[in-house]
Every structure is written in structure tokens, then in C-alpha cells.
Amino acid sequence: MKSGFIGIIGRPNVGKSTLLNSITGEKIAIATEKPQTTRNRIRGVYTALAENDADSVQMVFIDTPGIHRPRNKLGGHMTRMATDTLREVDAVLFVVDCAPSAGGGDAHILKLLEEIDTPRIAVINKIDVMPPDAFKVVYDAYANREMFHDVLGVSALTGGNVARLLGILRGLLAEGPMFFPADAVTDRPERFIACELIREKLLLYLDDEIPHGVAVEIESYEELRGLTRIGAVIYCEKKSHKGMIIGKEGRKLKGVGKRARADIEALLGTKVFLQLWVKVRENWRDSDFALRSLGYGDE
């Protein structure tokens, strides 16, 4: 069979996590319209077995945080994870949703890509909302760069052209072992994904100035027959943010819990009893100790 690791990189908010979910067919990475939603590397597994082993394939996709200019230690950790991935994979998907801008973000990523010999594919996302003439401009901007093995438009949201992308990747991979069981979709435990689903709902519910200062930690996780009991702490950096997260008469926190519980129940296939608490942990994004304790230390 063929197998290999594929890195997914790009600027924040271009749809990397949505693409990973589309490929695996499961919601293993949270996705919102807010930039820098992804904070950890998340591996998604795509396996297609055939009667003839030579036609089988397993692809391990590594979703990375968006590459951006760090403003704190958390941002530095996220950017290092993304750039380190380039040296660890068999192919790289550079996900974009526009032509390279004059700003430093695109130029920095393109420079990183020029420095590696790994096959690179430019994946133009959001073609479902991109007019044909606009797509041609973006396509030509990347097709004219000799560094890319291929340039392809996809819609991560609808799944458009994702099968074609998988076919291109299959052609780039060499023979190799099966790294994960055939039914695996991620190497992350359910506890981690549950934590991320809670954070996703916070990103969706909260005003723009709060989300990046919020972290979630699972304090208790008990699996019973037909029921999973989860206790989670939401950390914020300011006392004023605590009240905003809880909301008037606790309504906002209840809304976060209700939506998160529904997604976690779908993930686990059991009823879920979810308890949420909010605590203040000032400047945790610039504390090495806090980052490690919250799971953002170096992998």
C-alpha cells in the first residue's frame, strides 16, 4: 500500500481545519470564522483499503495553526508548530483563498516553501463562493510559480474537488506501512476533542476581543454506561471577561454548554453531563508554565 504524512499550512482563517474535516468525514478539528482558531497540531487519518493491497492508501494529514506574526508566547508556539511541520512530511498543502498579497504573511510562507524539497500543492479554497474570473486570477498567481507540483481549487465546506485532491496526493506517495488502524480518523483522544468543541462554542459566542484570551481545561472525565460526565474549566485573562463569558443570569455560559454538549454527544455516541466553570488566569498566554499545563507546550 501507499502511505505518508501531509502537512496543511496557510494563513489564519483560510479553511485548513474545514478541509481536514472534509477529508476525514468527521469533525475532528474545530472551525470558526475567527482567525487562529487552531492552536495545536491535529492529525487526521484517511484510509482507503482495496482488495489489492497495492491499491490501498493511508494518508495522515497534519492540520497546523495559521502562520502569523506572534504577539505572545502562545502565538510563538503556534507558529513554530506550523513551520516545523514542513520538515516532517511527505507532501505539503498550502491552503489559500486569494492571490498572494503584498503583506508579509504570504511572502513569509512562500519563502518557507521555497526552502524545502517536499512536493507542494497550492489548494485554492472557497471556490463555492469565488467567481470564475476571480478564481482565474488566484490560480494564475500560483500556477506561475514553479515551486508547486499542482494547483487545485476546492471547496472544503461542500467537499467539491476534495476527491481529486486525494487522487493527486496518492500519486505523490511511496509504498509504506499502515500507521493507524483502518477505522481511525485521528490520533487525538476523545477528551482532547471534547475540550476543543467547548472552545469552539466560546469562539462562536464571544465578542472579538475575548476569544484569543480563553483556554479550556478538562478537569474530570468519567465514562459510565450510556453517560459521560465531563467537568471543564474555562480560563480567561481578565476579571471583566469572566462576567462576559457567563453572561446575564448565566445565559451565555448555558448556551455554550448546551451547544458543546450536543456536539460532544454526537462525537461520543452517549449522553453527556457537562459542567463548566470560569476562572481568571491573568496573562496565561505569556506564561511558559501556564502554556504547558494547558497543553500548549512544545510537542
Residue range 26-40, pLDDT digits in tens:
888 766 665 555 556
Instruction: Flag whether pLDDT at 188 surpasses 90.
Output: no
Tell me the average pLDDT across 11-39.
78
Question: What does the alpha-carbon distance between residue 35 and residue 15 come to, in Å, rounded to a whole number?
Answer: 10
Looking at domain 2-172, its CATH architecture is 3-Layer(aba) Sandwich (3.40)
Tell me the average pLDDT across 38-53.
84
Query: Which pLDDT score, from 0 to 100, does residue 205 have?
Result: 80
Higher pLDDT, 133 or 84: 133
Residue 79 backbone zone (phi > 0: left; psi -120 to 50: alpha; other: beta): alpha
Tell me the average pLDDT across 205-225.
82
* SS3 state at 180: coil
Residues of the chain within CATH 3.40.50.300 domain(s) are 2-172
Cell of 271: 449522553
Question: What does the alpha-carbon distance between residue 279 and residue 71 come to, in Å, rounded to a whole number?
Answer: 23
Q: Is the Cβ–Cβ distance between 207 and 244 less than 8 Å?
A: yes
* SS3 state at 166: helix
Looking at domain 190-293, its CATH architecture is 2-Layer Sandwich (3.30)
- pTM of the complete model: 0.79
- What is the DSSP track for 47-106? EE--SSGGG-EEEEEEE-PPP---SSHHHHHHHHHHHHHTTS-SEEEEEESSSPPSSHHH
Q: What is the pLDDT of residues 134-158, one digit of tens each?
A: 999 999 999 999 899 999 999 999 9
Residues of the chain within CATH 3.30.300.20 domain(s) are 190-293
Backbone phi, then psi, for 52, in 5-degree steps? -90, 115
Tell me the average pLDDT across 155-166.
96
- What is the DSSP track for 245-261? HH-GGGHHHHHHHHHHH
Higher pLDDT, 47 or 208: 47
Higher pLDDT, 111 or 47: 47
For residue 210, what pLDDT band results from cuts at 50, 70 and 90?
low
Instruction: Average the pLDDT over each of 90-94, 175-179, 209-213, 263-267 and give the range with the smallest value.
Output: 209-213
Q: Is the Cβ–Cβ distance between 32 and 203 less than 8 Å?
A: yes
Tell me the average pLDDT across 279-286.
88
Instruction: Flag whether pLDDT at 48 surpasses 90.
Output: yes
Instruction: Average the pLDDT over each of 101-110, 111-120, 126-135 and give the range with the smallest value.
Output: 101-110
CA proximity to 272, closest of 200, 205, 224: 224
What is the chain's mean pLDDT, rounded?
A: 86
